[in-house]
Amino acid sequence: MQKYQDLNNYGSINKDEHDQCIGIMQHSYSINGISAEIRLHYLKFDGNGKPMMKALANLLYSYIIDYCISSKNRTDTLTTQQAAQLTREARRLFRHPEITDESPDKTGEAGEMLLFFLIESILNAPQVVSKMELKTNHKDEVKGSDGIHAHYDEIDQIIDFYFGESKLYKKASDAMDAALKSINDFHDIDMCEHEFTMTTKHFKYADEEVKKAISSLIIHGQPGPNVRINHACLIGYDFKKFASLSGNGSRELENNFLHEFSQDTPRLIELLQNKFDKFNKKHLRFEVFFIPFPSVVEFRNAFNDALN
Protein backbone atom coordinates (compact mmCIF):
# COMPACT_ATOMS: atom_id res chain seq x y z
CA MET A 1 0.00 0.00 0.00
CA GLN A 2 2.93 2.36 0.61
CA LYS A 3 3.58 2.59 -3.14
CA TYR A 4 0.02 3.81 -3.67
CA GLN A 5 0.30 6.27 -0.79
CA ASP A 6 3.50 7.68 -2.30
CA LEU A 7 1.45 8.82 -5.30
CA ASN A 8 -0.21 11.52 -3.17
CA ASN A 9 3.16 13.18 -2.57
CA TYR A 10 3.79 14.05 -6.22
CA GLY A 11 1.54 17.10 -6.46
CA SER A 12 3.28 20.31 -7.54
CA ILE A 13 0.82 23.00 -6.36
CA ASN A 14 1.53 25.09 -3.29
CA LYS A 15 -1.81 25.20 -1.40
CA ASP A 16 -0.86 28.52 0.20
CA GLU A 17 -0.69 30.11 -3.26
CA HIS A 18 -4.16 28.77 -4.05
CA ASP A 19 -5.44 30.46 -0.91
CA GLN A 20 -3.90 33.81 -1.91
CA CYS A 21 -6.07 34.12 -5.03
CA ILE A 22 -9.04 31.79 -4.56
CA GLY A 23 -11.53 31.56 -1.71
CA ILE A 24 -13.90 28.75 -0.77
CA MET A 25 -17.51 29.35 0.27
CA GLN A 26 -18.72 26.81 2.83
CA HIS A 27 -22.14 25.27 2.27
CA SER A 28 -24.30 22.21 2.92
CA TYR A 29 -25.75 21.63 -0.56
CA SER A 30 -25.86 18.17 -2.09
CA ILE A 31 -27.12 16.46 -5.24
CA ASN A 32 -29.59 13.59 -5.06
CA GLY A 33 -29.30 10.34 -7.01
CA ILE A 34 -25.58 10.57 -7.80
CA SER A 35 -22.28 11.00 -5.98
CA ALA A 36 -21.37 14.63 -6.64
CA GLU A 37 -19.34 16.88 -4.35
CA ILE A 38 -20.18 20.56 -4.87
CA ARG A 39 -17.30 23.01 -4.42
CA LEU A 40 -18.02 26.75 -4.47
CA HIS A 41 -14.89 28.80 -5.20
CA TYR A 42 -14.44 32.47 -5.95
CA LEU A 43 -11.81 35.03 -6.87
CA LYS A 44 -10.52 36.95 -3.88
CA PHE A 45 -10.39 40.75 -4.02
CA ASP A 46 -7.17 42.74 -3.98
CA GLY A 47 -6.58 45.76 -1.72
CA ASN A 48 -8.20 48.07 -4.27
CA GLY A 49 -11.33 45.97 -4.40
CA LYS A 50 -10.74 44.28 -7.77
CA PRO A 51 -11.22 40.51 -8.29
CA MET A 52 -7.76 38.90 -8.54
CA MET A 53 -8.24 37.58 -12.06
CA LYS A 54 -4.90 38.75 -13.45
CA ALA A 55 -3.03 37.56 -10.35
CA LEU A 56 -4.62 34.13 -10.79
CA ALA A 57 -3.66 34.04 -14.47
CA ASN A 58 -0.06 34.91 -13.60
CA LEU A 59 -0.02 32.29 -10.84
CA LEU A 60 -1.20 29.62 -13.26
CA TYR A 61 1.53 30.67 -15.69
CA SER A 62 4.13 30.09 -12.97
CA TYR A 63 3.19 26.39 -13.00
CA ILE A 64 3.38 25.76 -16.75
CA ILE A 65 6.54 23.63 -16.45
CA ASP A 66 4.82 21.38 -13.89
CA TYR A 67 1.73 21.22 -16.09
CA CYS A 68 3.40 20.62 -19.43
CA ILE A 69 6.67 18.77 -18.81
CA SER A 70 6.83 15.37 -17.08
CA SER A 71 9.08 15.33 -14.06
CA LYS A 72 10.83 12.26 -15.47
CA ASN A 73 12.01 14.51 -18.33
CA ARG A 74 13.61 17.13 -16.07
CA THR A 75 15.87 17.23 -13.07
CA ASP A 76 14.49 17.72 -9.56
CA THR A 77 16.41 20.97 -9.13
CA LEU A 78 16.57 23.31 -12.13
CA THR A 79 19.24 25.89 -12.82
CA THR A 80 18.12 29.32 -13.97
CA GLN A 81 19.06 28.40 -17.54
CA GLN A 82 17.22 25.06 -17.41
CA ALA A 83 14.10 26.73 -16.01
CA ALA A 84 14.17 29.35 -18.76
CA GLN A 85 14.58 26.68 -21.46
CA LEU A 86 11.74 24.52 -20.08
CA THR A 87 9.48 27.57 -19.78
CA ARG A 88 10.09 28.32 -23.48
CA GLU A 89 9.32 24.70 -24.36
CA ALA A 90 6.13 24.76 -22.29
CA ARG A 91 4.96 28.07 -23.79
CA ARG A 92 5.35 26.66 -27.30
CA LEU A 93 2.86 23.91 -26.46
CA PHE A 94 0.04 26.43 -26.05
CA ARG A 95 -1.85 27.68 -29.09
CA HIS A 96 -1.50 31.45 -28.45
CA PRO A 97 -4.64 32.41 -30.43
CA GLU A 98 -5.09 35.85 -31.91
CA ILE A 99 -7.52 37.74 -29.65
CA THR A 100 -9.80 40.60 -30.67
CA ASP A 101 -13.13 41.88 -29.41
CA GLU A 102 -14.81 40.23 -32.41
CA SER A 103 -12.86 36.98 -32.06
CA PRO A 104 -12.12 36.24 -28.39
CA ASP A 105 -10.03 33.26 -27.36
CA LYS A 106 -12.30 30.22 -27.51
CA THR A 107 -9.66 27.62 -26.63
CA GLY A 108 -9.98 25.82 -23.35
CA GLU A 109 -6.39 26.10 -22.20
CA ALA A 110 -6.94 28.71 -19.46
CA GLY A 111 -9.71 26.60 -17.96
CA GLU A 112 -7.73 23.38 -18.29
CA MET A 113 -4.79 24.97 -16.50
CA LEU A 114 -7.08 26.26 -13.75
CA LEU A 115 -8.69 22.84 -13.32
CA PHE A 116 -5.23 21.23 -13.01
CA PHE A 117 -4.48 23.78 -10.28
CA LEU A 118 -7.72 23.01 -8.41
CA ILE A 119 -7.48 19.21 -8.65
CA GLU A 120 -3.95 19.20 -7.27
CA SER A 121 -4.46 21.81 -4.55
CA ILE A 122 -7.97 20.85 -3.36
CA LEU A 123 -8.25 17.12 -4.10
CA ASN A 124 -4.55 16.37 -3.55
CA ALA A 125 -4.65 14.33 -6.76
CA PRO A 126 -1.42 14.74 -8.77
CA GLN A 127 -1.51 14.90 -12.54
CA VAL A 128 -0.29 11.51 -13.79
CA VAL A 129 0.01 12.24 -17.53
CA SER A 130 1.34 15.48 -19.06
CA LYS A 131 -0.89 15.50 -22.12
CA MET A 132 0.49 18.79 -23.42
CA GLU A 133 3.95 17.38 -24.11
CA LEU A 134 2.42 14.53 -26.13
CA LYS A 135 1.07 16.94 -28.76
CA THR A 136 2.82 16.69 -32.12
CA ASN A 137 1.59 20.14 -33.18
CA HIS A 138 0.98 23.04 -30.78
CA LYS A 139 -2.16 23.96 -32.74
CA ASP A 140 -3.74 20.59 -31.96
CA GLU A 141 -6.32 20.18 -29.25
CA VAL A 142 -5.61 17.63 -26.54
CA LYS A 143 -7.83 14.60 -27.14
CA GLY A 144 -9.96 12.99 -24.45
CA SER A 145 -10.33 14.51 -21.00
CA ASP A 146 -8.85 17.83 -19.91
CA GLY A 147 -6.47 16.09 -17.55
CA ILE A 148 -5.72 12.78 -15.85
CA HIS A 149 -5.11 12.82 -12.10
CA ALA A 150 -5.03 10.17 -9.39
CA HIS A 151 -5.18 10.00 -5.60
CA TYR A 152 -4.90 7.15 -3.13
CA ASP A 153 -7.87 7.16 -0.73
CA GLU A 154 -6.52 5.74 2.54
CA ILE A 155 -9.98 5.29 4.06
CA ASP A 156 -11.46 3.25 1.21
CA GLN A 157 -8.03 1.90 0.19
CA ILE A 158 -8.67 2.63 -3.46
CA ILE A 159 -7.08 4.69 -6.23
CA ASP A 160 -9.37 7.48 -7.41
CA PHE A 161 -8.75 8.51 -11.00
CA TYR A 162 -10.00 11.99 -11.87
CA PHE A 163 -10.67 12.85 -15.50
CA GLY A 164 -10.90 16.60 -15.95
CA GLU A 165 -13.60 18.52 -17.79
CA SER A 166 -13.23 22.30 -17.92
CA LYS A 167 -15.96 24.56 -19.30
CA LEU A 168 -15.86 28.37 -19.20
CA TYR A 169 -19.08 29.82 -20.61
CA LYS A 170 -21.08 33.01 -20.24
CA LYS A 171 -23.93 31.00 -18.72
CA ALA A 172 -23.44 28.38 -16.00
CA SER A 173 -26.25 26.26 -17.47
CA ASP A 174 -24.48 26.07 -20.84
CA ALA A 175 -21.22 25.11 -19.12
CA MET A 176 -22.99 22.29 -17.25
CA ASP A 177 -24.60 21.02 -20.46
CA ALA A 178 -21.27 21.04 -22.28
CA ALA A 179 -19.45 19.27 -19.45
CA LEU A 180 -22.00 16.47 -19.12
CA LYS A 181 -22.18 16.01 -22.90
CA SER A 182 -18.40 15.67 -23.07
CA ILE A 183 -18.43 13.13 -20.24
CA ASN A 184 -21.25 11.18 -21.85
CA ASP A 185 -19.33 11.10 -25.16
CA PHE A 186 -16.14 10.18 -23.29
CA HIS A 187 -17.74 6.94 -22.11
CA ASP A 188 -19.82 6.23 -25.21
CA ILE A 189 -16.67 6.03 -27.36
CA ASP A 190 -14.67 4.19 -24.67
CA MET A 191 -12.19 7.06 -24.32
CA CYS A 192 -11.68 5.89 -20.75
CA GLU A 193 -9.77 2.85 -22.04
CA HIS A 194 -7.47 5.14 -24.04
CA GLU A 195 -6.86 7.36 -20.99
CA PHE A 196 -5.98 4.42 -18.75
CA THR A 197 -3.61 3.12 -21.43
CA MET A 198 -1.96 6.54 -21.56
CA THR A 199 -1.38 6.30 -17.82
CA THR A 200 0.53 3.03 -18.19
CA LYS A 201 2.54 4.27 -21.18
CA HIS A 202 3.17 7.92 -20.27
CA PHE A 203 3.24 7.98 -16.47
CA LYS A 204 4.53 11.43 -15.55
CA TYR A 205 6.97 10.49 -12.81
CA ALA A 206 10.31 8.66 -12.84
CA ASP A 207 9.44 6.27 -10.01
CA GLU A 208 9.08 2.92 -11.80
CA GLU A 209 7.80 1.17 -8.68
CA VAL A 210 4.86 3.55 -8.34
CA LYS A 211 4.22 3.32 -12.09
CA LYS A 212 4.10 -0.49 -11.91
CA ALA A 213 1.85 -0.37 -8.87
CA ILE A 214 -0.65 1.96 -10.57
CA SER A 215 -0.45 0.10 -13.89
CA SER A 216 -1.18 -3.22 -12.17
CA LEU A 217 -4.59 -1.88 -11.12
CA ILE A 218 -5.65 -1.31 -14.74
CA ILE A 219 -6.87 -4.51 -16.41
CA HIS A 220 -6.67 -4.38 -20.23
CA GLY A 221 -7.51 -0.68 -20.27
CA GLN A 222 -10.31 -1.04 -17.73
CA PRO A 223 -10.41 -0.14 -14.03
CA GLY A 224 -9.79 -3.08 -11.71
CA PRO A 225 -11.48 -3.61 -8.33
CA ASN A 226 -9.17 -1.09 -6.63
CA VAL A 227 -9.74 1.76 -9.10
CA ARG A 228 -12.60 4.25 -8.99
CA ILE A 229 -13.59 6.61 -11.83
CA ASN A 230 -14.32 10.26 -11.01
CA HIS A 231 -14.90 13.29 -13.21
CA ALA A 232 -13.65 16.66 -11.96
CA CYS A 233 -15.64 19.43 -13.64
CA LEU A 234 -14.85 23.13 -13.65
CA ILE A 235 -17.92 25.28 -14.30
CA GLY A 236 -16.74 28.84 -14.88
CA TYR A 237 -19.29 31.48 -15.88
CA ASP A 238 -20.02 35.20 -16.04
CA PHE A 239 -21.57 36.53 -12.83
CA LYS A 240 -23.39 39.78 -13.56
CA LYS A 241 -23.50 40.87 -9.91
CA PHE A 242 -19.81 41.84 -10.08
CA ALA A 243 -20.81 44.97 -12.03
CA SER A 244 -23.14 46.27 -9.29
CA LEU A 245 -21.03 45.50 -6.21
CA SER A 246 -20.41 48.37 -3.82
CA GLY A 247 -18.63 48.75 -0.51
CA ASN A 248 -16.04 50.71 1.44
CA GLY A 249 -12.83 48.79 1.00
CA SER A 250 -11.95 45.36 -0.35
CA ARG A 251 -13.21 43.43 2.69
CA GLU A 252 -16.70 44.92 2.50
CA LEU A 253 -16.75 44.39 -1.28
CA GLU A 254 -15.81 40.75 -0.83
CA ASN A 255 -18.45 40.25 1.87
CA ASN A 256 -21.07 41.83 -0.40
CA PHE A 257 -19.95 39.56 -3.22
CA LEU A 258 -20.24 36.50 -0.98
CA HIS A 259 -23.78 37.54 -0.06
CA GLU A 260 -24.73 37.79 -3.76
CA PHE A 261 -22.97 34.50 -4.55
CA SER A 262 -24.76 32.71 -1.72
CA GLN A 263 -28.10 34.14 -2.89
CA ASP A 264 -27.48 32.76 -6.38
CA THR A 265 -26.23 29.35 -5.24
CA PRO A 266 -29.68 27.67 -4.91
CA ARG A 267 -30.24 28.46 -8.59
CA LEU A 268 -26.95 26.75 -9.49
CA ILE A 269 -27.75 23.69 -7.41
CA GLU A 270 -31.23 23.37 -8.89
CA LEU A 271 -29.79 23.64 -12.40
CA LEU A 272 -27.18 20.99 -11.66
CA GLN A 273 -29.74 18.68 -10.06
CA ASN A 274 -31.92 18.93 -13.17
CA LYS A 275 -28.94 18.13 -15.41
CA PHE A 276 -27.96 15.10 -13.33
CA ASP A 277 -31.57 13.86 -13.19
CA LYS A 278 -31.36 13.43 -16.97
CA PHE A 279 -27.82 11.98 -16.94
CA ASN A 280 -27.92 8.19 -17.27
CA LYS A 281 -24.41 7.21 -16.12
CA LYS A 282 -25.18 7.50 -12.44
CA HIS A 283 -22.47 5.05 -11.37
CA LEU A 284 -19.86 7.74 -11.98
CA ARG A 285 -18.59 10.07 -9.28
CA PHE A 286 -18.19 13.83 -9.66
CA GLU A 287 -16.30 16.74 -8.17
CA VAL A 288 -17.90 19.97 -9.41
CA PHE A 289 -15.98 23.23 -9.04
CA PHE A 290 -18.05 26.39 -9.55
CA ILE A 291 -16.21 29.68 -10.09
CA PRO A 292 -18.04 32.90 -11.07
CA PHE A 293 -15.99 35.42 -13.09
CA PRO A 294 -16.58 39.06 -13.98
CA SER A 295 -15.97 37.78 -17.52
CA VAL A 296 -14.66 34.38 -18.65
CA VAL A 297 -13.35 36.07 -21.82
CA GLU A 298 -11.32 38.51 -19.72
CA PHE A 299 -9.89 35.60 -17.71
CA ARG A 300 -8.88 33.79 -20.90
CA ASN A 301 -7.29 36.97 -22.20
CA ALA A 302 -5.43 37.48 -18.91
CA PHE A 303 -4.01 33.97 -19.15
CA ASN A 304 -2.94 34.49 -22.75
CA ASP A 305 -1.34 37.80 -21.78
CA ALA A 306 0.66 35.91 -19.15
CA LEU A 307 1.77 33.39 -21.79
CA ASN A 308 2.80 36.14 -24.17
So where are the chain's domains? 2-307
Q: How far is it, in rounded angstroms, from Cα 112 to Cα 211?
A: 24
Count the neighbouring beta carbons within 10 Å of the beta carbon of residue 130.
Answer: 24
Give the H or E element holding residue 118. Answer: helix 109-123
Q: What are the pLDDT digits (tens) for 55-91?
A: 999 999 999 999 999 988 887 778 889 889 999 989 9
Mean of the per-residue pLDDT values of the chain: 91
Among 4, 118, 101, smallest CA distance to 59 is for 118
Confidence at 248, pLDDT banded by 50, 70, 90: confident
Confidence at 98, pLDDT banded by 50, 70, 90: low
- Specify whether the CB–CB gap between 110 and 95 falls below 8 A: no
The pLDDT value given to residue 105: 46
Tell me the range of 6-10, 14-18, 207-211, 274-278 where mean pLDDT is highest: 274-278
Phi and psi at residue 27, to the nearest 5°: -160, 175
Among 290, 267, 54, smallest CA distance to 167 is for 290
Q: What percent of the chain has pLDDT over 70?
A: 94
Strand order in the sheet with 22-25: 22-25, 35-43, 285-293, 227-238, 158-169, 148-153, 127-129
Q: What percent of the chain has pLDDT over 90?
A: 72
- Is residue 21's pLDDT more than 70? yes
